[in-house]
Structure 1
Amino acid sequence: MAMPTPPPQASLTVTLDGLRNDKGVVQLCLTRDTADFLDCEKHDQRVTRELAATAAENVKLTGLAPGEWSLLVLHDENDNGKLDTMLGIPKEGFGFSGNPKIRMGPPKAKQVKFELPAGSSAQRVKLRYLL
């Protein structure tokens, strides 16, 4: 009797560009439901990592299912567990898969989703600081 073939797996290496300093932590949230990618806690199929900013230049995520994903990265400089804002404008760094242009408000889901194939892949995310 043949053993069932395990489902394919993917890994993703995330490289961060433009980290302003090494204070606090960097939070990554990889979600399958790309329509609401900004609210990480809502997603049952999410993969998260929180690392000291000093160790966050390259992050490898393994054991992922191939398919469509979205990535949100936050630089929580004061390590208070949230993205601080002033008048609705982020005071701390943020970035997205696909590095969409930031205009008024966050990018649309279609701008940040990407296809993750089986095997190894990479995403380079540029962190942005508005204040």
Structure 2
Amino acid sequence: MKLLFFLFFITSFLPADEIALTIEITNIRHPKGTLRLGVFRQGNTFGSTYTKPDFGQMVAVTGKGEARTVMNLPPGRYALALYHDMNDNWKLDKNIVGYPKEPYGFSNNFHPVLSGPDFEDCAFEVKENGPCHLKIKLLH
């Protein structure tokens, strides 16, 4: 009963206008490290190395295959970028020419060829009538 009251008490302080975004990450090949997710609002400089995301989340990797997490976001247009920080050094390791050495992914499963994506390449909508679901395949 105490647990039920505690859960009700905590959820009563969540903003009513936030929508649950379920994010499913697939193609995890290394059972170690942390998935680091960044969600950017429209207007934020998405794709810039030094831009901080508007919302962030970390998910511990405990096995191969897939992982799932939920973020609560207000309705709007967003873009998501993530990487698998396999050595937990808090950065996306890159090779000498700047190509990622660690797995990464974007919303809409955008696959960059010669440069990083623009916001519109990865944009998705969180609607008031939610819920919202993304499935992202890690690129290696």
**What TM-score does the superposition give when structure 2 sets the normalisation length?**
0.77
Amino acid aligned to 1:121: C
Q: Are 2:122 and 1:112 aligned?
A: yes
Equivalent of 1:46, from 54, 57, 60?
Answer: 54
Contact 2:23 2:69 in 1 (8 A): yes
Runs of 4+ in structure 1 over 3 Å off: 39-43
Query: What is the aligned residue count?
Result: 122
Structure 2 unaligned runs (5+)? 1-14
Contact 2:40 2:46 in 1 (8 A): yes
Equivalence for 2:4: none
Identity of aligned residues (%): 30
Contact 1:31 1:40 in 2 (8 A): no
Equivalence for 2:132: 121
Q: CA deviation at 1:100?
A: 1.3
C-alpha distance after superposition, 1:63-101 (max 9, x if no partner): x11010111111000000000011211000110001113
**What TM-score does the superposition give when structure 1 sets the normalisation length?**
0.82
Rg comparison, structure with higher value: 2
Give, in whole Å, the separation in 2 of the partners of 1:66 and 1:32.
Answer: 10
